[in-house]
Amino acid sequence: MTIKEIAEKFNISVATVSKALNGSNDIADETKKTVCDYAESVGYRSRKSMTINGRVAVLWGKGEKKDGANYEVYRSFRETAERARYVVIPDVVTDDFRLNDYLAYNHLYGALLLDINFNSPVYSQLKKARYPIVLFDNYVTGNDKVSGIGSDNIHSIEEAVDYLVSLDHKGIAFLGGERASLVGAERLAGYVLGLARNSIEYRYDLTYFGDYSMKAGADAADYFLQNKKEFSAIVCASDSMAIGFIDRMRGAGKKIPEDYSVIGYDDLKTVRNAEYNLSTVRQDFDLIGERAFHILESTMKGLSAQRATVGCTLITRGSTQQKQ
């Protein structure tokens, strides 16, 4: 593949292709991205790109996303890796996926794994991984090539419970994530510990588990309404679930926060508007993605795996208030 052939492919000049491949700032970003992505896909390397340090993968456990927590981590990881002159290859884990074979065949130095739980087909392969791996919101022991990174889930949920208690809420429900995941277990533990240190008895019937989706939030609202569960506040393990919960409760004639104070988790842009004005736990996705790459790079250079946690910030908005 030559520059001339790439130019003919997109009906642009050879000079424009050359500028795109060499990172020139006097052509449109969209054109630059289109040319560079195509060149990479057909294996073309400019003189400048020959100086790359290597190739790493971002592997999605449940399909590549264009928004949400996993996407924000991916975006930050990719930007950090590209600044360090690594090529980032996104892909999706399939049922017959073989991690070591995949990385070897595609000449990849390591990978970041997103949206992986204990039941994912690749999870059981991690202890025998021969290449550096970083897991977001998960962790394994027994392999010094596999690192983990995520938010300080336990303490951040404890802080959310503390805040609700400070508003005189005692009946506090919990909308948890997948039980087959480390992050789901950690956020549940934070909820239980938060109740315990405020002398509030844990009630299993005020706990509902979902998959971090809006539908899970709506299903939780239906469960609580149909079973006439009494509580005045709820902590949700994701903003999406909080939104689904709020929408369904409003559809049933309930008011937020007058009837239920609601706290989410993530601080996605969609929850900051007036419609939801959601109190939430803010994850620092930029820092998580940046650190994930640096951990992966250090492991690729021979250092041992590590587990890192990044602190969160409780953001209080209009979805919570003093209990009436």
Q: What is the pTM of this model?
A: 0.80
Average pLDDT over residues 137-152: 93
Is it true that 3-150+286-305 and 153-283 share their CATH fold? Answer: yes
Identify the CATH class of 153-283.
alpha beta
| Domain residue ranges of the chain, discontinuous segments joined by + | 3-150+286-305, 153-283
**What average pLDDT does this structure show over 234-247?**
96
Q: Are 262 and 289 in contact (CB under 8 A)?
A: no
Q: Residue 43: pLDDT band by 50, 70, 90 thresholds?
A: low
CA-based angle 134:138:139, to the nearest 5? 70
Q: 105 falls in which pLDDT band (50, 70, 90)? A: very high
**292 φ, ψ to 5°?**
-60, -45
Domain 3-150+286-305, CATH 3.40.50.2300 — does that match?
yes
Cis peptide before 257 (omega within 30 of 0): yes
3-class secondary structure, 181:
coil
User: Which residue's entry shows tokens 């926060």?
Assistant: 257
pLDDT score recorded for residue 7 = 86
Q: How many CB atoms lie within 10 A of CB 121?
A: 15
Are 214 and 239 in contact by the 8 Å Cβ rule? The answer is no
